[in-house]
Amino acid sequence: MEKVSFSFTEISKLVETNDAQIIQLNTYSDAPSGNFYVTLRINKTEISDIVATFQRYEYQVKYYFGKNCTRMNYAAITTI
């Protein structure tokens, strides 16, 4: 996603509409590619609904770890 278009409020709203909360949020800007990455830690083990919500709003989910993968649930997102 472009750094200018990053909105913690929007990302938080999308997570909270799925009855979840953000436990941790990290950002990373890759200067050579111009990409801006956001990594989230969510308080739920089943995050497929959250991933689908991000995809519906045209965020590109790079990877995620959820139920049966690890106890910590992360989703790295960027926009298309």
**According to the model, what pLDDT value does residue 72 have?**
44
**Is it the case that residue 12 has pLDDT exceeding 80?**
yes
**3-class state of residue 58 by DSSP:** coil
Please report where in the chains the tokens 């045209």 appear, as a residue. 58
Distance CA(78)–CA(36), nearest Å, equals: 6
Residue 64: partners with Cβ closer than 8 Å, 6 or more residues away: 47, 51, 73, 74, 75, 76
Kindly report, residue by residue over 25-48, the tens digit of the pLDDT.
998 888 888 888 888 989 988 888
Strand residues in the chain grouped as ranges (E): 22-30, 35-42, 59-65, 73-79
Q: Which of 6, 15, 9 is nearest to 78 (CA)?
A: 6
**According to the model, what pLDDT value does residue 71 have?**
43
